[in-house]
A and B are shown apart, each in its own frame.
Chain A
Amino acid sequence: MKEEEIEYQKGNLHPLTLIMNEAVLILKDLGFSVEVGPELENEWYNFDALNVPKDHPARDMQDTFFIKGQEGKVLRTHTSNTQIRFMENLIKEGGNPPFAIVVPGKVFRNESTDATHEMQFHQIEGLVIGEDISVANMKGILLEFFKRFFNGEEVDIRLRPSYFPFVEPGFEVDLRRGEKWIELLGAGIVHPNVLKNCGVDSNKYQGFAFGMGLDRLMMMKLRIPDARLSYQGDLRLNQF
């Protein structure tokens, strides 16, 4: 005979899912729609279409997992592949910008693992294309995102020059919570070659893209000390 002390046990979500949903929800509220895409990808979608040429040092910027016996296949190193697939489809179906998409998903890098690096991790990327979407708009969206994500904490962002082949200008975006600035994400104005590669008229349309690690956001928001805890299948992580 069991009594009321032994309560019905509820299910719950992994903290990464909660963080992902929260980030998606904020961006949906700002006008984005959600896209997802494949994890095993062609080099075209992961690199070439993103203005990362073959045999160019820029390909070294991300340590890539290649697939044995399948020339031209990689585990996606970022969720940007889905941005390309989305734009390609849009144009194919006779559509055109403007649009704003958010792409959450799992990505892979061939790195040695430590407390802040895993071979698999999760990213969230945003892409906004219109006729006059600017750096100012990018700053506006990102600042608003962080204000809501960190629940009204006092936050600020700043841009530093950076380089990613798929954007120009490219930025490193730092976030300030309280006193300290930390480097948090990459962003920039989408390179005209990327738009052209998808069939988007780069003379008429422009816009921004950004990408950040959800594992990192999770560690920051929930104060989880080690990225590797996420993938152990250990329910002690599900504290939220």
Chain B
Amino acid sequence: MLISYNWLKRYIKEIPNEEDLINLITFKICELESVEKLPNGDTVFDMKILPDRAHDLLSHRGVAKEIAGILGIEFSESFLNDSLKEVFKQEKQEINENIQENLFINIQSPLCRRYVGRIVKGIEIGPSPKWMTDLLESVEQRSINNIVDITNFILFDIGQPIHAFDLDKLESPEIIVRNAKEGEQVELLGEKVGDTVKERNFILKENNLVISDKKDVLALAGVKGGKKAEVNQNTKNIIIEVANFDPVSIRKTARTFGIQTDAVKRYENELTPSICRDVIFEVSSLINLVCPNSSFGEIVDINNSKEEEKKVKFTTFYISKVLGCELEDNEIEKILKNHNYEYVRNYDLNEWEVIVPNNRLDITGPHDMAEEIGRVHGYEKIKPKIPELNFNHKDNEIWIKICLAKEKLVNDGYKEVITYTLTNKGEIEIMASTEGKNFLRTNLLDGLIKSYEINRLNMPLLDLSEIKIFEVGTIFTKDGEEVHVAYCDKKNKVEISLDEFVKNISDFSLKSYSTFNSQPTSFSMWSLYPFISRDISFWVPNEIENKKIFDVMKNNSGKLLIKEPYLFDKFTKGDKTSYAYRLVFQSNERTLKDEEVEEIMQGIYQNLTNLGFEIR
């Protein structure tokens, strides 16, 4: 999530500088994808909020509170300035007499846990104040109009999605939250695809939760608003929605239709219903700020959620035992205080009882407090300590057999390959895999024979007189999976089960694990271009040393000779010896032409002939 430094600053007066924040976030909160200094002077942190903190940290307020808690510095509960706070407070009580209509909220589905709504009349659609468009711009939100901007602003500020409906487009001032009727349709607000806005019609199913008026669907609840009650330039009166929905339902609906919105992201991770009422106060005060002439209706709050106070108990001893370092009581107390935890300390039992804040849905037991405290304490302060582990458990038998089989095959001159489990035919099919990789292999030999072919063609590059390869791996049939052993050479193409293979090994004991003989050298990558190999054979007087011939070939071949000349045949007849060498040419940059290799070979022939050797 993009987090604006200037936005955080509204919550924390003594916020550390950007550099210090980078470290604090990385080692105490979560990974940072990027940090960017913007032309508007702001700095934006792209924080990879951990999924278990999505409940509270997908918001500027949550992040600011966390930072302040870690540092033990002051955090102001609202970023609104004092005069605005006054309005905001009044709004809590005041119901405007001008509004005769009553909003009626009718929740017909248990998937809606809470719905808080309010009518606001006399809206003047226009631009947003600069401070707000600046902050929105920092987190890559384009300003649309003052009302839409407020809904966006609240989402990124508090993490609670909200929605505004154009009241006059509804059949009556009634909001119904219900499951869709099978086949019911809705046209959702456009998605910007490049420069064009794409509007889409969706056909709904019964398990989709919707917001509707008496006649039509107004929105896919928690996912996206609909066209019918869209707020636009002409909007005068609105209904504000601050609601809480079942996370699984939202997630399923969003997935069904392939819609991923900022609202979905927050709802599917679950939000606390307890903040809805506070949020509508904040929305109201922002609307009041941008549209001072607007009047507010009564807040209607239908709350079907049962949030109970959650308490977690733990001891200092437990925290120290999990972290493996001694923590002091007063450090734990300081961490709890800084994070504004309400807690009771039981001195007799040396126990802490913490009241879990409503929005910390992630905290369910003492293990979570070990994380909470350990993180702030600092993981770097925990000293590594190797535990004594002398349990003398036996290794799994299949593992021993695998090692044994590999050992045996290597001793017999076979080289190991590992091929793909996913292939183009088989008995078990995988969903949504790439064409050609949508089945599990039923045997190892198909892959091994392909590998044999590759290596046979590459033989000149491999310095091998024969290709002998093997694989030990799992195969899959309708009856289940089984580890197989397969090996392949010029004569044999054999595949049997691991158990069968091991039965035939007479000396059934694994002496040691094969690993590197010595410190391994660095890998050398091969050329991806084709090679050309040439064989050359000639007669040489017996007294001439092999080395001399070798040098002639090497010195006349240049850089393209990628391997030492390979002697593949040698015999002596009378006073002459016949040598047969293989020369392999390859470039790292291009495909070689036959002619250029021919030219090199001519040079070698010439030189060998000049020395009086007889080309065969």
- The residues of A with any CB-CB pair to B shorter than 8 Å are 1-3, 5-6, 8-18, 21-22, 24-25, 28, 30-36, 38-40, 55-58, 61, 65-70, 75, 98-101, 104, 106, 108, 110, 119-120, 128, 130, 132-137, 139-144, 151, 157-163, 165, 168-172, 189, 191-192, 206, 221-225, 230-236, 238-240
Contacts and interface: CB of A to CB of B under 8 A. Distances in A.
A189 B367 contact: yes
Given A39-B481, A120-B421, A163 B430 contact: no
B596 interface: no
B393 A57 contact: no
Given A12-B415, A140-B385, A143-B384, A161 B371 contact: yes
B321 A17 contact: no
Contacts of A233: 417-419, 447-448, 450-451, 454-455, 469
A165 B391 CA distance: 28
Given A120-B420, A135-B324, 12 more contacts: A12-B416, A21-B514, A34-B396, A35-B399, A36-B396, A36-B402, A98-B391, A101-B393, A136-B323, A169-B322, A222-B523, A235-B464
A101 to B, nearest CB: 7
Contacts of A224: 523
A51 to B, nearest CB: 11
B307 to A, nearest CB: 20
Given A6-B465, A12-B410, A233-B448, A136 B26 contact: no
A135 B379 CA distance: 9
Given A11-B409, A31-B388, A162-B50, A136 B325 contact: yes
Nearest to B390: A31
Contacts of B418: 14, 16-17, 230-231, 233
A234 B462 CA distance: 10
Interface in B45-84: 50-54
A192 to B, nearest CB: 6
B28 A161 contact: yes
B430 A10 contact: no
Nearest to A69: B429
16 contacts: A9-B465, A33-B394, A57-B251, A65-B430, A70-B428, A119-B433, A119-B434, A119-B437, A139-B383, A161-B30, A221-B520, A222-B522, A231-B419, A238-B416, A238-B417, A240-B521
Given A36-B396, A236-B458, A223 B522 contact: yes
A102 B402 CA distance: 15
A112 to B, nearest CB: 9
Contacts of A25: 513, 515
Given A38-B481, A101-B393, A235-B458, A139 B419 contact: no
A2 B252 contact: no
Contacts of B429: 67-69
Nearest to B487: A11
A67 B414 CA distance: 34
A9 B569 contact: no
Interface string B360-385: 00000101101100110001101111
B322 A134 contact: yes
Contact of B389 (A15, A100, A108, A206): A100
Contacts of B26: 160
Given A9-B465, A24-B513, A235 B368 contact: no
A110 B428 CA distance: 16
Contacts of A106: 421, 473-474
Contacts of B454: 232-234
B431 interface: yes
Contact of A17 (B382, B386, B416): B416
A34 to B, nearest CB: 4
Interface in B439-486: 440, 447-448, 450-451, 454-455, 458, 461-462, 464-470, 473-474, 476, 480-481
Counting chain B CB atoms within 10 Å of each CB, which of A10, A16, A35, A235 scores highest? A235
Contacts of A144: 384, 386
A36 B403 CA distance: 12
Given A6-B465, A100-B391, A110-B433, A158 B379 contact: yes
A14 B379 CA distance: 37
B308 interface: no
Contacts of B30: 161-162
B524 interface: yes
Contacts of A18: 514-516, 520
A12 B252 CA distance: 50
A187 to B, nearest CB: 11
A220 to B, nearest CB: 11
Contact of A11 (B371, B411, B431): B411
A231 B476 CA distance: 18
A11 B567 contact: no
Contacts of A141: 386-387
A56 B396 CA distance: 33
A202 to B, nearest CB: 9
A168 B514 contact: no
Nearest to A15: B523
Given A5-B570, A168-B370, A75 B251 contact: no
Nearest to A207: B387
Nearest to B374: A169
Contact of A39 (B28, B269, B432, B474): B474
A156 B420 CA distance: 35
A67 B447 contact: no
A57 B54 contact: yes
A192 B365 contact: yes
A32, A143, A236 interface centre (most CB from chain B within 10 Å): A236
A17 B526 CA distance: 21
A35 B402 CA distance: 12
Contacts of A151: 519
Closest 4 pairs between A and B when the two form their complex, measured CB to CB: A233-B451, A136-B324, A31-B389, A134-B324
A144 B448 CA distance: 38
A120 B447 CA distance: 15
Contact of B50 (A24, A110, A161): A161
A136 B29 contact: no
A180 to B, nearest CB: 15
Given A31-B390, A136-B383, A169-B375, A119 B422 contact: yes
Contacts of A130: 387
Contact of A240 (B389, B428, B516): B516
A12 B412 CA distance: 10
A169 B370 contact: yes
B523 A6 contact: no
Nearest to B366: A192
Nearest to B462: A235
